[in-house]
Chain A
């Protein structure tokens, strides 16, 4: 079975985090997931500014993006939970809300777009779990990360609102944990596991974003882990990039490395961490040393 998708990297991954795209592409190649770029897309668009400013424009632009994948006869694959949420929700809302579907349909007609609602959207972690499967991933592991204890952070947009999203159970998700555990690492449970990292609130008010992150880090530290694992570019940036500011504001020590989930998979599949060229604000060298990967 070949898995073919329309690739929607989203602007944050494509323009700010090429290492994430690189790492994800390596994993996709490894498991025969074929992607083709979507031409002429716009921002998904991000709910925090677009849904919040004008839900009609948000849904119209999302539907327009979906229509591009429809033209390719494929479902959409994205590395970004924000894009996943927007595109998945838009399709769900347009299916159930007739009035909104009418408004959006009118707008799409004006710009010459035909939307049918035939292309679904998936996050890469979902394809890895549901289509590739844990068994196949386990078989690809050549360098088990035995002894590594991690805190898996799902973030919000893979899980909620669950009336539109179907990545996993919104209250006790397991898929990301199992993907991570396929590498031989242990996913440790901790308080406030499905809570928001504070990234989006921090965009509007930095101090509030830092305070929310502190709450997450506080419980993660109590769980005595070596690293945090994320699957969202925004969580990655906030949890890694702003850790020093949490330490400063609260006069506490955290320095917990933040890893991208396919970064970890790649390590375990034999890729040299140096070749992935991830940017990490919290240094990962001590961790690599502990794992004997330096």
Chain B
């Protein structure tokens, strides 16, 4: 996992974003009911393999303003989105949904792994997330299949423009190439 060095300015921006998230999800109130039972972490396949990724701690740290620990790296991106935590939390805290919102926040500040950025780029270029192959129709013909569907990259780009998804890639580039503040 590559360490993301987050500048102080970005940390301040993140602070505001996260505060908003905490309010929207009423996390302070909800986290007050969190048993700290660890059902979320105990069910989490990623936690099993990498204890640094700990949903129970992440939820608590969001509510208590100590989230800097896991936001200082790309660790939040390890979530497999299996939603087991969401299914099983006895207090009905929307663990995986909240952690997905956290990644939305991180992405806007350019904190995301290369492969995720790569998939965004593929969607802009070809309208799809799988790597394109020029030979695909030949290969499909060997299976007696019609030509592969052509995905509408233009439509994807328009939607990306509306929500400034491009900015995510620019922010990542600036952060990684930008050097120290």
Contact = CB atoms under 8 A, between A and B. Distances in A.
B25 interface: no
A53 B128 contact: no
Contact of A200 (B80, B107, B158): B80
A250 to B, nearest CB: 12
B45 A55 contact: no
Interface stretch (A138-146, A174-182, A208-216, A253-261): A208-216
Given A56-B163, A160-B82, A196-B82, A277 B49 contact: no
A65 B165 CA distance: 19
Contact of A41 (B116, B151, B158, B165): B151
B80 A37 contact: no
B174 interface: no
Nearest to A214: B49
B96 interface: yes
A55 B101 contact: yes
Interface string A100-124: 0000000100110000000000000
Interface in B96-128: 96, 100-101, 103-104, 107, 112-113, 115-116, 119-120, 123, 127-128
A64 interface: yes
B149 A38 contact: yes
Contacts of B80: 48, 156, 196, 198-201, 212
Nearest to A215: B48
A104 to B, nearest CB: 10
B152 A42 contact: yes
A238 to B, nearest CB: 11
A12 to B, nearest CB: 5
Contact of B45 (A21, A50, A198): A198
A162 B168 CA distance: 30
B46 interface: yes
Contacts, number: 191
Contact of A53 (B78, B82, B120, B132): B120
A38 B156 CA distance: 16
Contact of B152 (A40, A49, A57, A60): A40
A55 B104 contact: yes
Interface string A39-54: 1111101111111111
Main secondary structure of the interface of B (DSSP, over half): helix
A43 B155 CA distance: 10
Interface residues of A, number: 59
Contacts of B8: none
B59 to A, nearest CB: 16
A203 B151 CA distance: 23
Contacts of B116: 48-49, 52-53, 204
Interface string B70-108: 000010011111111011000000001000110110010
B50 A208 contact: yes
A204 B78 contact: yes
B67 interface: no
B43 to A, nearest CB: 8
Contacts of A52: 77, 79, 81, 100, 103-104, 107, 116
A54 B113 contact: no
A48 B96 CA distance: 12
B123 A47 contact: no
A277 B82 CA distance: 30
Contacts of A46: 119, 129
A107 B80 CA distance: 28
Interface in A181-214: 194-196, 198-201, 203-205, 207-208, 211-212
Please list the 4 inter-chain residue pairs (A to B) with the smallest Cβ-Cβ separation, ordered nearest first: A11-B128, A211-B49, A160-B83, A196-B82
Given A46-B119, A110-B158, 8 more contacts: A22-B144, A41-B149, A42-B123, A161-B83, A204-B74, A204-B78, A204-B116, A212-B49
12 contacts: A22-B144, A50-B123, A56-B163, A64-B155, A110-B158, A156-B80, A160-B82, A171-B87, A195-B82, A204-B77, A212-B48, A277-B142
